[in-house]
Amino acid sequence: MTPKQIPLNEPQLFLDDELVLKTENVSRKWHKLEKHPANPIIAPSMGEKVLYLFGSVLKEPDPNVDGSQFRIWYYAEGDSDNASRKTWVGYSTSTDGISWQKPATGVIELEDNPCTNIVFDGTDDWRLVGFFGVIRDPNPDVRSSERYKLVVSAENLVEPLRKTYLM
C-alpha cells in the first residue's frame, strides 16, 4: 500500500487506523458529546415547522466578510395547506457556526411572502421527498447563479414516479 502524504500542520481526525502506520503506547478516548447551550442554533422560522439539519454545510471564504463563512442547506417542513410547499430546502449563513442568519434569497415565495430563504421546493405536480446535499462547483468560469449544485429526490403527485434532480 502506498502511504498517503499529509501536509504538515494540517489537522487530522483519527476515527480509525486507516492513516496510522504504527502505534505504541497510544490509546483512543471518546469524549461525551455536549450540545451547545444555545441549542437549537438554527430554529424554525419563516413558515418552517420542523428543520432537519442533515443537509450540507460548507465553510468557505466570503469576499464580503473578513474570514470565513459557513453556508448550510437543510430540509424543512412547513404547515402550509399547499401540497407543493410542505417540504423545501432552506438556506442559512453564519460567520462562526453558532449564530445563523436566514437571508431572503428571492428564489421562492411562501404563501405570498417573497422574503424567504427557500432555494428549492416542489411544484404543482412534484413533492420533495429527499435531500442529498449541495456541492460547490470549483470551476472559476461557472456563472455565480450556477456555482452551487443541489441534489434532491422528488415524487410526482399525479403519476407514481420518483425522480432525482441535480440543480
If you average pLDDT over residues 113-135, what whole number do you get? 78
In terms of Cα–Cα distance, which of 45, 42, 60, 53 is closest to 133?
53
Distance CA 91, CA 111 (A): 18
pLDDT tens per residue, range 58-88: 888 765 666 788 999 988 888 656 544 578 8
How does pLDDT run across 11-21, given as a tens digit for each residue?
777 777 877 77
Between 32 and 11, the more confident residue is 32
40 upstream amide cis, omega within 30 of 0: yes
Residues of 26-62 as b/e, b for ≥16 C-beta within 10 angstroms? eeeeeeeeeeeeeeebbeeeebbeebeeebbeeeeee
Q: What is the mean pLDDT of the chain?
A: 80
Q: Which of 74, 83, 81, 75 is nearest to 127 (CA)?
A: 83
